[in-house]
A and B are shown apart, each in its own frame.
Chain A
Amino acid sequence: MSVGELLRVHGKPPREVYFDLENSGYVPREVVEEMIPYFNSVGYGHPSITHKPGWEAYEVVHETKELLSRVLNAGGLGEFAIVHSGTEANNLAVLGHALANRERRGKILVSAVEHLSVIHPAELAERLFGFRVLRVPVDGEGFVDPEVLRELVDRDTSLVSIQMVNHEIGTIQMISELSRIVKEVNPSTVFHTDAADAFGRVPIDLRELEHVDMLTISSHKIHGPRGVGVLFVREGLRLEPVLRGQLSSERLWPGVENVPLIAGFRKAVELAFDGFEWHVSKTRELRDALVRGILERVADVLINGPSDFSKRAPDNANLSFLYVEGEALTVELSLHGVYVSSGSACTSRILEPSHVLLAIGRRHEEAHGSILLKTSRYHTVEDVEYAVEVFPKAVARLRSISAARA
């Protein structure tokens, strides 16, 4: 099999628009340019060594944390551990907590719609150390019911992990209220929130979120480079490193800091927060136009996630196109230069559709036809118009040969 041949047959569509920002995306030129000097002209040293290139490297790490502290209003509240992905940050949160508390064990509560980088480490903590993992159910739009959470938390609850924004359906959880309830029932329960898809999209104030003990960020979710993640850890929290090796500037993560990528991430944070409100409203307008345009032109489409769009992340759109299978639709759209992903089983290793869509009660055949799109401030009105033109054609072609048509 030659992937080159596949790409040749695919060809370059006349216009290309990338909406698969959930699964990774492009890095703008300003961010790329910020990284380049750090490979060979400045800060290419090890941040914990006492020489100029080392201190230059340390400056990047240090300044990045200062910046995070400012944009999240976290001054004096704790530390930011910079790790190599959001996945690693979530592993550090869940397994690092489990390691530090393995003698006492207890329950770990995760919402049913968490990212697998939370669910799987929780299951590992169960297998390795005997924690008990409970899944907190969500309603048809992906919300955790505060009263259900109150029922589930007890004296034995060690950790609760509930994401701030769902990565697939954009549900914005009421983290302030949920974390308060957890601490009301059990003040010693640790509360983690995966904010990978909230950061840069919804305001986050760690001084206000006083009951949040840990928070996850991922660089490539905000047009930064892949391979940088951050875990905020509140002062005084017991957490053990998961990976072992030579420590450097991070107490919780060994290995040499990837300074060029961190510099790129820092730039991406600056860009995201420079005109935050404007970025959010532009993103929202584009998303609304995209959804409206598609719904006007294509019949038999379900909206997955909150129907009240004010309760949904501004960038997220998730639609199920009945009678077509999502993977086929991603390929068809790709041939037209519109790049999206699907929660269909056909894109997965295990031939089961997205656990998020099943958790909100979608039937398998509805989940198989799901398409996830995310807009950003880098999209234009023309990008959206192009997608709105392409979708009806793509869906119609696949429906015309569909065996599932009623």
Chain B
Amino acid sequence: MSTRIPLPYTPKVLELFRSPKNAGPMEDADVVESAGSPACGDMIRLYLKVSERDGEEVIERATFESYGCAANIAAASILTELVVGKSMREAWRISWKDVADELGGLPPIKYHCSILAVGALKRAVRSYYGKVGRRPDWLPEDLTIEERQTLEEEKMIERLYSGQGFRIAIALPRSGSSGQGA
């Protein structure tokens, strides 16, 4: 196969992979957003049910669907647990690092799983306020690190497909540090 790397997941990752919380679509979701794509090998779709409580929007329920590795499923699962009961403003402050920490840590090569999960969350929050037609003052216009990284991952796959193409080129590209030959 291609170049391998050991992936010693934490017990929490394995537990949540085995028995994820809040998995599956949500019929009455107020907002649905996804991050990543099947071509990237990583995709998370997040469903949120939002209600108003004391003048604040609160995430009442959250579910996810995931296409991705064990870490991806665990990250999406823990994220849904983290956001439920939080106001949108609090949920916005969750970072990819928080998600990784809640999992007891992730192998560095899997950081993008928690980035993708939080990327989906931030997109969902933006999309919610886009729908209601109002931008709260705590919601910045600039993309967060997780949203930017998510976009980056989604674009990378397009480049891989459109670029010099792995398949047809006869000459092997010179290998940089990537370690992939073909």
A residues apposed to B, CB below 8 Å:
1, 3, 5-6, 8-10, 22-23, 110, 112-114, 116, 119-120, 122-123, 126-127, 132-137, 152, 168, 323-325, 327-328, 331-332, 335, 341, 343-356, 358-359, 361, 363-365, 368, 372, 400-405
Nearest chain B CB to A314's CB is how many angstroms away? 20
- Asked if A328 and B175 make an inter-chain contact with CB atoms under 8 angstroms apart, the answer reads no
CB of B15 closer than 8 Å to a CB of A? yes
**Nearest-CB residue, chain A, relative to B178:** A350
CB of B151 closer than 8 Å to a CB of A? no
In the complex, which of the residues B23, B72, B170, B174 contacts A135, with contact meaning CB atoms closer than 8 Å? Answer: B170
**Nearest-CB residue, chain B, relative to A124:** B175
Nearest chain A CB to B156's CB is how many angstroms away? 9
Provide the residues of chain B in CB contact with A113, threshold 8 Å.
182
- Asked if A361 and B14 make an inter-chain contact with CB atoms under 8 angstroms apart, the answer reads no
Q: Which of B5, B15, B23, B69 has the most CB of A within 10 A?
A: B69
Provide the residues of chain B in CB contact with A132, threshold 8 Å.
171
- Asked if A328 and B160 make an inter-chain contact with CB atoms under 8 angstroms apart, the answer reads no
Given known contacts A5-B10, A9-B15, A331-B17, A349 and B4 CB-to-CB distance under 8 angstroms? yes
From B33-41, B82-90, B141-149, give the one contacting chain A: B33-41
The 6 closest A-B pairs by CB, nearest first: A119-B181, A355-B182, A404-B67, A346-B69, A403-B65, A365-B38
CB of B132 closer than 8 Å to a CB of A? no
Q: Give residues 34-71 of B contacting A (CB, 8 Å).
A: 34, 37-45, 64-70
Is the interface on chain B under 10, 10 to 19, 20 to 34, or 35 or more residues?
35 or more
- Asked if B172 and A327 make an inter-chain contact with CB atoms under 8 angstroms apart, the answer reads no
Nearest chain A CB to B111's CB is how many angstroms away? 11
Given known contacts A351-B109, A355-B181, A346 and B41 CB-to-CB distance under 8 angstroms? yes
A12 to B95, CA, bound (A): 35
Nearest chain B CB to A156's CB is how many angstroms away? 14
Given known contacts A327-B70, A344-B69, A1 and B104 CB-to-CB distance under 8 angstroms? yes
Given known contacts A119-B172, A347-B1, A354-B1, A325 and B105 CB-to-CB distance under 8 angstroms? no
Given known contacts A119-B172, A123-B174, A134-B172, A9 and B43 CB-to-CB distance under 8 angstroms? no
Nearest chain B CB to A288's CB is how many angstroms away? 23
A355 to B178, CA, bound (A): 13
- Asked if B18 and A325 make an inter-chain contact with CB atoms under 8 angstroms apart, the answer reads no
